[in-house]
Amino acid sequence: MRYVTLTYLCAIAYLATPMLPGAMKMLGQLQFDDVMVSTSIIGEMRPFYDGAFGKVSLLLVLLTVGSCIANRKSIRTGEWLWLAGMMIFLFRLGRFAPLFAIIAAPLAATYWPRLSDRPLRRGLVVGALGVFVLLAGVRIAINLPTASTPLDPWLNRNVPAANGYPTGAAEFVDAHVPLKTGHLINEFNWGGYLAWRLGDRYQTFMDGRTQMHPPQFWRDAFLGDETSRRSLVEDTDADVAILPKKGSVFTQPLQQMGWTIAWQDDQSLVMIPPMTMVMQDPE
């Protein structure tokens, strides 16, 4: 009865939102009509078992399910329903892994074979773990930005160990590229940052909101050939492009159209169309 009550109360709360029709429409589009979701271009839309770490995750999932089956007499019906439902979502898209973990982690902690805590109760181990936690906390506190910390360098503090943002390219465009149409060509993963950084001057080409463009747009951009991409960027009539230095699908079509590289660093590059002159710093 507790599960039933919580389910109905949550359902009533969800249905009370005025955004319900749009949310249902978007869910249907993402499930059946979204080109980017149906491909492997977006990392979080790939199967959770993809890659080396994915294989480890799959093993943990199987161990959890096997433990639940071995202790099936102790598991309540509601827990079975939650586990089955979350597994369906998990195997559908990797992005649902956090939701699955919320259900699977308590079940694994309860029904996996119990391990002895004797090694962890030793004074030397407790002291070492305490020092580790203290050092980790200090490291996190040191890396937190202060009121005077410039945001652009802080965003890329973990590069090259982690993917960063085109902060230098955005700064160059903001200071040196003349504004004409207000259109900017960019890759998928940088759309959100560039919309935040340059949104007062430029309209980005694409970002993570895949429902904002028709399916044909995404087919031309990522599933087509150089001809389709060139036609797509020609119709954009952009002032500038900010692209990854390696692996961009738009670099070659733009070069074919006569675009040139105006600025670059180890991570990104800025391309401008023919007859565009960048503004120089005042001396």
User: What digits encode the pLDDT tens for the residues 41-52?
Assistant: 887 788 888 888
Note the pLDDT of residue 191.
94
Is the pLDDT at 282 greater than 60? The verdict is no
257 with 171, same domain: the answer is yes
pLDDT score for 201: 93
Residue 52: its pLDDT value, please?
85
Residue 185 confidence (pLDDT): 96
Q: Helix 77-92 vs helix 52-70: angle between axes, to the nearest 10 degrees? A: 160
What integer pLDDT is reported at residue 70 of this predicted model?
92
Asked whether residue 104 carries a pLDDT value surpassing 60, the answer given is yes
Together in a domain, 104 and 182: no
**pLDDT given at position 210:** 87
Residue 251 pLDDT level (bands cut at 50, 70, 90): very high
Residue 19 lies in a domain: no
Same domain, yes or no, for 186 and 93?
no
Residues 106 and 190 placed together within one structural domain of the fold: no
For residue range 220-240, list pLDDT tens digits in order.
999 888 899 999 999 989 999
Number of domains the chain is built from: 2
Residue 120 to residue 122: CA distance in whole angstroms:
6
> Looking at the structure, do residues 171 and 261 belong to the same domain, yes or no?
yes
| Assigned domain for 176 exists | yes
Highest mean pLDDT among 30-34, 53-57, 75-79, 259-263: 259-263
Residue 96 lies in a domain: yes
Residue 84, domain member (yes or no): yes
Residue 50 inside a domain? The answer is yes
Residue that terminates a domain, selected from 111, 146, 176 = 111
Q: Are residues 104 and 187 in the same domain?
A: no
Boundary-marking domain end, from 93, 111, 129: 111
Question: Does residue 92 share a domain with residue 177?
Answer: no
pLDDT at 205: 95
Q: Is residue 49 part of a domain?
A: yes
Mean pLDDT of all residues in 240-262: 94
Do 96 and 180 share a structural domain? no
Query: Does residue 12 form part of some domain?
Result: no
Residue % of the chain over a pLDDT of 70: 99
| pLDDT tier, 281 (very low <50, low <70, confident <90, very high otherwise) | low
Q: Both 173 and 102 in a single domain? A: no
Is the residue at 118 inside a domain? no
Q: How high is the pLDDT of residue 176? A: 93
Residues 114-172 pLDDT 10s: 878 888 888 999 999 999 999 999 999 988 888 888 888 888 888 876 788 999 999 99
Considering the entire predicted model, what is its pTM?
A: 0.77
Structural domain of 86: 34-111
